[in-house]
Every structure is written in C-alpha cells, then in structure tokens.
Amino acid sequence: MTDRLIMPDGTIREFSTEKIPTHNLHGTGCTLSSAIASNMALGESLPKAISQAKDFITAAIRRSINLRVE
C-alpha cells in the first residue's frame, strides 16, 4: 500500500507499507493523524513525521490481538 505526499514545491514523497490482513483497524486513522501531529510538535519535518507515524501504526496493527466477535 502506497500513500503520496505532494509538497507545495511539487516534490512527491511516497510512503509504502505492507498490507496486514486483519479486521482490527478501528481507530487507526485517528491514531495515525495524532502520531503525525505529535511528531511534528516534537520538531520533525512533515515527511519524517509521516514516516515515523506510519511505522508506529503498522507495528501496532501487526501486534494487535483479534477483538472481532463473530
């Protein structure tokens, strides 16, 4: 899965992550955006903040337990 960031100067940065087969994704978008904002508050550039946040959320999804009730 690849996301793209297009900067005001036209620079394009791609962020690729593995697709993890799981049903436990509720809240991951909000967590990702919060992690990006937190990294920027710590002084990281936008591309670096996104990269670190995506690594964080991917690791969290990978380690998640199955919470789905069938």
pLDDT one-digit tens code per residue, 4-53: 999 999 999 999 998 999 888 889 999 999 999 999 999 999 999 999 99
Q: Is the pLDDT of residue 70 over 90?
A: no
Q: If pLDDT is split at 50, 70 and 90, which confidence band does 68 have?
A: low
Comparing CA positions, the residue from 69, 64, 35 lying closest to residue 52 is 35
Contacts of 22 (CB under 8 A, 6+ apart): 61, 64, 66
Q: Is the pLDDT of residue 58 over 80?
A: yes
> Are 40 and 49 spatial neighbours (Cβ–Cβ below 8 Å)?
yes
Return the pLDDT at 1: 82
